[in-house]
Chain A
């Protein structure tokens, strides 16, 4: 319902404007009001009951971390986390995408390979991190491998669902125009698979982030995950929660990005 409203809005500039002016504005106001109540209410309750900071810090104490000198350290370690995430995800997602596109063209191969993919999907890659550290040391390598192993199969299994959607009539249409196998792939199969590909990319990215942070908590001494371990063991709860907040915002950003990408590339499927 709201989807089709949005689309009508995008089709005509006036619709878009009125959408923002009317309902959109009300939504923004409501979102800000609720956030204000939750944060303000939390602050008030924590102060009123005099909850110790090492149990739960106040929002203002967490906010203060972002202005403190500790922020430089946190920022630096956040950078390490992002490097692992991007590198591992780039490897995992591209291998996952290519595998999905290729094996769905060969049902026999797909049947043989699928159990192993499912195995990779269901195995928590975090459990493998100690083993990876043993083999690859305490640097980036074990983490990047863990991220790739966590995100790749997620991307692959969702994208494969997309690539398996064959529409005989659409393919016949392309063939009747003289399309080659490659053209059928790029002009029919890829767009048909796109909605599921984007879902896979999003889930893969979020799993990748979780795995990156978890791997950092298992050792190595750098990255936001290792900061979490340090802060919690030294009871520096405002810093701890500041890191959690950063990770939450990162996750939401990933989600929002793929939501936007989905609208742009697969908006035709409502």
Chain B
């Protein structure tokens, strides 16, 4: 991998222990991860295995106990302008209109919002004309689309998503998955998606990383071979079904010492 021209995301030996009153919680242990520029990966694993901890470390929202994270040749030591983040449940500020929400990252960085880009993104996600509405006037799916626009408006290289569609109903979720794939094909961001839906993970990603718990480690990496663009019909196929079941089985029967399969792909 050529790291000087390529803005690959590299995680090396990421270890994180939370200090609590009852002792330390080993949330991450020696996690290695490389995401090529423009690659879409998903991370799945049992609840509490450290997915959010890993993502927050990449976002620079908290410090690792040991290990390092780099974007291209730049080490991540705090929030980075080239890394955008999407949260669970849209996370819009209820006192700001949709447009004001989208402009928040610009405001914080004292930059002029790119109105033309914001408008075209709003139109792209089907929210043209909704810019002046308040978040509560929009449905959950529409709010989540607005938060996609917020994450993309400043044109980050990397997009981090932590269970972005967990609160949506199945139909809306499928719709959002289709939209995310389309937008990804158009923009080729580096994307890390955390999800509890294995179908969603497989449908969207080039690679699915499976994590195991206590301590949080990558136990297996699975390549997703389906060609793009993918249609929602893919989810009905035998091959898709088999791959989802393989991953599900893997999570349910995680080995006690999950080092063996690390970096298999």
Contact = CB atoms under 8 A, between A and B. Distances in A.
Interface of A: 11, 169-170, 172-179, 183, 187-188, 191, 194, 266, 268-270
A194 B105 contact: no
A175 B108 CA distance: 9
A194 B79 contact: no
B95 A177 contact: no
Nearest to A188: B93
B134 interface: yes
Contacts of B78: 178
Interface in B8-62: 56, 59-61
B79 A178 contact: yes
A11 B98 CA distance: 14
B91 A183 contact: no
B104 interface: yes
Contacts of A174: 104, 108
B95 A178 contact: no
Nearest to A4: B136
Interface string B53-91: 000100111000000000000000011010111011101
B175 interface: no
Contact of B81 (A169, A178, A268): A178
12 contacts: A170-B91, A172-B87, A173-B85, A173-B91, A173-B104, A174-B108, A175-B79, A177-B104, A178-B81, A183-B108, A187-B107, A191-B95
A175 B61 contact: yes
Contacts of A188: 93
A187 B56 CA distance: 21
A173 B78 CA distance: 13
A269 B93 CA distance: 11
Interface residues of B, number: 26
Contact of B94 (A177, A183, A187, A268): A268
B93 A177 contact: no
Q: Which 3 A-B pairs have the closest CB atoms?
A: A177-B105, A268-B95, A176-B85
Contacts of B105: 177
A214 to B, nearest CB: 37
Interface of B: 56, 59-61, 78-79, 81, 83-85, 87-89, 91, 93-95, 104-105, 107-109, 133-134, 136-137
A206 B133 CA distance: 35
Contacts of A194: 95
Nearest to B89: A169
A240 B115 CA distance: 61
Contacts of B107: 187
Given A169-B87, A269-B94, A177 B136 contact: no
Nearest to B60: A176
A169 B91 contact: yes
A269 B104 CA distance: 19
Given A173-B85, A187-B104, A268-B136, A178 B94 contact: no
B108 A177 contact: yes
Contacts of A266: 95
Given A178-B108, A187-B108, A173 B95 contact: no
A156 B87 CA distance: 33
Contacts of A173: 85, 87, 91, 93, 104
Contacts of B60: 176
A170 B78 CA distance: 17
A221 to B, nearest CB: 48
Contacts of A268: 94-95, 134, 136
Nearest to B133: A11
Given A175-B61, A178-B109, A187-B104, A11 B137 contact: yes
A11 B137 CA distance: 10
Contacts of A169: 87-89, 91
A168 to B, nearest CB: 10
Nearest to A171: B61
